[in-house]
Structures are given as structure tokens and as C-alpha cells.
Amino acid sequence: MDDKLQGVVLQSIRYGDTSLIVKIYTRSFGLQSYIIKGAFSRASKSRAAFFQPLNVIEFVVSGKNLHSTLGYIKDVQMAFFYQTLFSEMKKSAILMYVAELLSKSLTEQEQNLVLYDFIIHSLQWLDLTEENYANFPLFFTLEMSRFLGFYPKTNESSLPFFDMMEGHFVATVPIHPYYLEGDSAAILSAMLNRDLEKVMQLPLNVVQRRNLLDGIITFMRLHAPFLKNLQSHEVLQSVLG
């Protein structure tokens, strides 16, 4: 069966001399893996450049069914072209972080249109925004906790400490070391259930961003052990000015 799908590339691994195995989060079937034969061949219509992380592509799958294990992609084209994500250093660092976060987070082989649309719209927003996007990693990471099922509870968000283990704000210091306080707790509270534009308007400095991103990632790791080896945020920290 042949049909056209759309998806966002999460990861590509060279397979043999000329082929690729790619992991794609598809709009129709969630996470899928495919083989692209001859991706490094000059004559190939499925060139390796299409499969850079977070490219959004349209492609044809050939196989027994559309979501068979390691079906073959025999035709591919860009769904749209980014204008700035690959050319601007700060955005490229954010892109690398988002790609790793999604690659480690997305495991479901089933359709989730709300999540898919969130990813696509967020990437398009970042691509088209010329300034005032430094808070984007904070917003995106926090929203991913919503889709993974452990978004912070918003009741009593005016309390001074955020208990990462329990996922809510508390009045006293928790008995364990996994909590936020001070600026980090207050900023997290201000971000909850705010849309992208409002989060971008929060006037944060570089130290506040770094501390809060570290905190949110720790929170994510406590509830999603598969994020334990997340590493690209360390590079990202250098551009969160």
C-alpha cells in the first residue's frame, strides 16, 4: 500500500553505505521508523538532507501497511521550509535541544493530533519570530510535561515552594532536595497555563532562565526516567541570554 504521510523528523542514523534509518513523529500514526534506501546517492529522490532533525516532511511509504515496522520511504518532499532555524546560532541551539527532548519523549505509535499540532506550530512560531524568544525552551519543556501526563498542579500556585516530587506548590520546604524556591518557583507559577506569547513576555535574565530550565528538566526527569540522559540543554544554557 502506498500513501502520503506528514511527519517531523526526530533522528536519522546511517545504515550501510548509502541508506538511513529515520525516526519520524507522524501526524497519522505517531512515532514510526523507516528505511530510506540510497539516501546518500546523487540520483536519489530521498536525499539525506531531507532528514535533518525537526524538518517537517511529506513522504510516501511502501510496505505491507503504513505503520509496519521499518517500512520504506520511497518519495519525500518538504512540507515547508524553515527561514531561520538552521541559520541562526541561538535558534539552532534551541532546535538541537528540542530535537533531543522530543526524540527521548515521544514513544507512542498512535495518533495524537493535539501534540503533533503543538510541535509544528511551536517550531513555525520560533522560525518566524525575529526577537524575544529566549524563554521558548522553558515554555516548550513545560508544555511537554502536560502531554506526558505530569504538568504541575496549579492550585495554590502562590505558595513559595514547588515540590517536584509531588508536582505542586507547598507552604514549607519539602523533606527531600527536589524543590524550587525564590525566583524559580515564582516564575514557574507565572508561566503555568499561559500561552506562548505571554510566556515570551516575561522579563527574565540569563541566570533566571538557566536556573528555571535546570529545575524544569529535573522535574521532568523525576517523572520521566527516559529523560535521564538529556544532554543538549547544557549547550543550550550558553545561549539563553
The packing angle between helices 136-148 and 113-128, to 10°, is 180
* pLDDT value at 64 more than 80: no
Tell me: do 70 and 156 sit in the same domain. no
The predicted-structure confidence for 108-121, as pLDDT tens digits, reads as follows 889 999 999 999 99
Assigned domain for 83 exists: no
Tell which of 45, 78, 111 closes a domain. Answer: 78
State the Cα–Cα distance between residues 80 and 206, nearest whole angstrom.
Answer: 32
* pLDDT the model gives residue 133: 93
Return the CATH number at 205. Answer: 1.20.1440.120
* pLDDT value at 83 more than 70: yes
If you average pLDDT over every residue of the chain, what do you get?
87
* pLDDT the model gives residue 120: 97
Tell me: do 44 and 149 sit in the same domain. no
Tell me: do 137 and 59 sit in the same domain. no
* pLDDT value at 36 more than 90: no
Assigned domain for 84 exists: no
Counting Cβ atoms within 10 Å, is residue 202 exposed (0-12), middle (13-18) or buried (19+)? middle
Tell me: do 52 and 145 sit in the same domain. no
Q: 240 or 168: which carries more pLDDT confidence?
A: 168
Tell which of 55, 78, 101 closes a domain. Answer: 78
Q: What is residue 238's DSSP assignment?
A: G
Tell me: do 27 and 72 sit in the same domain. yes
State the Cα–Cα distance between residues 91 and 95, nearest whole angstrom.
Answer: 6
* pLDDT value at 239 more than 70: no
Tell me: do 142 and 162 sit in the same domain. yes
- Chain centroid offset of residue 24 CA: 13
Tell which of 78, 103, 129 closes a domain. Answer: 78
* pLDDT value at 136 more than 80: yes
For residues 17-31, average pLDDT:
89
**Structural domain range at position 146:** 89-239
